[in-house]
Amino acid sequence: MQQCADERPIVVIGGGIAGMAAASTLCNAGYAVTLLERKDRLGGVIETVDDGPYRLEMGPFSYLPKAALLPQLAAMWGVAGALCEADPAVARNRFVLKGTTIHRLPLGPKDFLRSPLLRVHEKLRLLLEPWAKGPPPEEETIAAFVQRRAGRGVLENLIQPFVSGVVAGDAGQLSVSALFPRFVELERAHGSLLRAFQRLRGSMARSTLFSFRGGMETLARGFVATTRAHVVTGADVLALRPRPDGVTVVWRDASGEQIADARAAVLAPPAPAAATLLRPLAPAAAALLQSIPYAPLVMMHTVVDHDQLTSAVRGFGFLATRGSAPPLLGSIWASSIFPERAPPDEVLMTWFAGGMLYPEAIAWEDHRLQRAVRDVAVRTLGMRGDVRRWWIRRYPQAIPQYFLGHRARIAQIEASVRALGPMALAGNYLTGVSVDDAAQSGVHAAAAVMQVLEPIAQSKTGRRVLSRDQVGPAAYPTNDPRVARR
């Protein structure tokens, strides 16, 4: 790490995973960093609540083995030793609620042939996937892509529940190239998804889940404990004023109005908040940011005794086909995946309602949501008696939706922001909605502003300030064998 000659800070706005990853990347490269967060805590949507013997995730529940950056951040922030892995046999034991019955998600060809999730003609249609029509010239929705390649049965009984579980979205509205570009790449490279999966079977990530013994918010706690950034919580950013050699950032915190003369700025709040900040500077970009829709979501945690359930709760949980359990999208069996989240004689489950399929659920009163959960728990898990504990949290703007044209809109927004000077955007509304995607966006935003600043520093000092290996995840040392090396 080299110390940068210009001691003015780079200001990072937003203390979620994207902002923390951006701040770490910049600090790692030798820059002074000020991190501004509107709330009184860091982590953004990542929030773990301990209530007596129960550990509740109020945001993302876990992350997948394919995550490239999160294990490196965990090592950098001193919390790699707190990583925990779910039992793979539990993590891959997943279910789909179709009608009134929960069906195990098929894991292989034999399971698939026996599964009642698809009717015979729907299975035959899927087997014809290698001979499906090629892609049209225009951008496709996920629904159009899947129906073209595998048929309506696969779309309705497998893919739409999956989309509901990942982004709380409607497959008929979302861009497949923006949200699941890997599917498009596999079709282009192999001509068939079935053929691609067959060829790549040995290289695909194993089916398990990772979290931390103290919950996902362990990441934020680790960042706070180790960061060299100056962190200000309760900071409401009021204005950005780009200048030829930097950005003036104005905010209000507990001490009153503050002004920072910054070398650059990374904007890492959700899209609506970024739109508010950019509206006076780039109204067209702000309008595009404001137009990105977010799915509303209701999250409910329940606790029951083991002996209240006649069906064993061993697995990840279930996702519901459209219309099977409105307004519920599915349930995660939290204490089955990570048993320490509840006492051994109790079952902790997390339920999700609303999304783009049932947006009206965000306005439902608690008793109506509770009745919907009880009804599904009775008919699918044989629940007797009532739920012992409830926690309900509503998120009017939970997950960004990548509608058709999303990638073009993002390209236009980012070009407008680059034209303003040393500024960049980060967040899960850009190129991926997962926690790892959001963290990667923070690294990319940090790299973008450093690329702008480096020629300025060279012109003033006549020397290179940053080496290429100081930018991004490759600079994060770790001995964790699960970290993907690049």
DSSP H helices, 258-308, are: 271-278, 283-290
Residue 476 has pLDDT above 60, yes or no: no
CB atoms within 10 A of CB 458: 13
Per-residue pLDDT tens over the stretch 108-120? 777 888 899 999 9
The CA radius of gyration of the chain, in Å to the nearest whole number, is: 23
Q: pTM for the whole thing? A: 0.92
From 102-106, 172-176, 391-395, the region with the lowest mean pLDDT: 102-106
Reply yes or no: is the peptide bond before residue 327 cis, omega within 30 of 0. yes
Per-residue pLDDT tens over the stretch 243-271? 888 999 999 999 999 999 999 999 999 99
- Taking a C-beta distance cutoff of 8 angstroms, is the pair 482, 71 a contact? yes
Per-residue pLDDT tens over the stretch 357-369? 999 999 999 999 9
Give which of 430, 436, 328 is closest to 62, Cα–Cα: 436
Give which of 48, 34, 332 is closest to 212, Cα–Cα: 48
- Taking a C-beta distance cutoff of 8 angstroms, is the pair 410, 252 a contact? no
Helix (H, G, I), strand (E, B) or coil at 40: coil
Measure the CA–CA gap between 436 and 176, rounded to whole angstroms: 19
Per-residue pLDDT tens over the stretch 44-71? 999 999 999 999 999 999 999 889 999 9
Measure the CA–CA gap between 465 and 429, rounded to whole angstroms: 31
Task: Please name the residues in contact with 9: beta carbons below 8 A apart, sequence gap of 6 or more.
Answer: 31, 32, 33, 34, 230, 260, 262, 263
pLDDT of residue 202: 59
* pLDDT band at residue 206 using 50, 70 and 90 as cut-offs: low
